[in-house]
Amino acid sequence: MAALSDDGFSVKLFSSILKDMSEIQKKENKNYSYESARVMSVAFELGFIIALPIVLFGLGGKWLDTRYGTGYYIYIGIGVAIILTSTWMYSRFKAFIDKLKEAAKIEGKDTEKK
């Protein structure tokens, strides 16, 4: 500790390091909150993609069953909902993966330039 108090350079260096560390931590916290919001957005969207078709087509099938006195329209509605949900989720995941690949390409080009 005596070495730090003897010369002003060491104290300035130490305070500069602490300042840099606090700035890095602030940036990491911002990235964390952005990523957290992004994950919540994707989770909400997936819930919406799954629930909406099943509810709509299931209720539509139930309505058709009560109207015509049958018992199979609800199963047709749920089947259509599963197919639609699978297609919708596939397209969303494909778009998400394409964005990740594009971001990786851009990041790779940035590191090559440095």
pLDDT tens digits along 83-103: 999 999 999 889 888 888 888
Which residues contact residue 107 at a Cβ distance below 8 angstroms, ignoring those fewer than 6 apart? none
Q: Is residue 51 part of a domain?
A: yes
pLDDT for residue 75 is more than 90: yes
Q: Is residue 52 part of a domain?
A: yes
Q: Is residue 109 part of a domain?
A: yes
pTM of the model: 0.59
Taking only the tens place, the pLDDT of each residue in 1-32 is 444 445 565 666 667 776 766 666 666 556 66
* Average pLDDT for 65-79: 94
pLDDT for residue 39 is more than 60: yes
Domain of 46, in residue numbers:
26-113
Question: What pLDDT was estimated at residue 46?
Answer: 87
Number of domains forming the structure of the chain? 1
Q: Is residue 62 part of a domain?
A: yes
Which residues contact residue 64 at a Cβ distance below 8 angstroms, ignoring those fewer than 6 apart? 70, 73, 74, 77
Q: Is residue 79 part of a domain?
A: yes
Q: Is residue 69 part of a domain?
A: yes
Q: Is residue 16 part of a domain?
A: no
Q: Is residue 14 part of a domain?
A: no
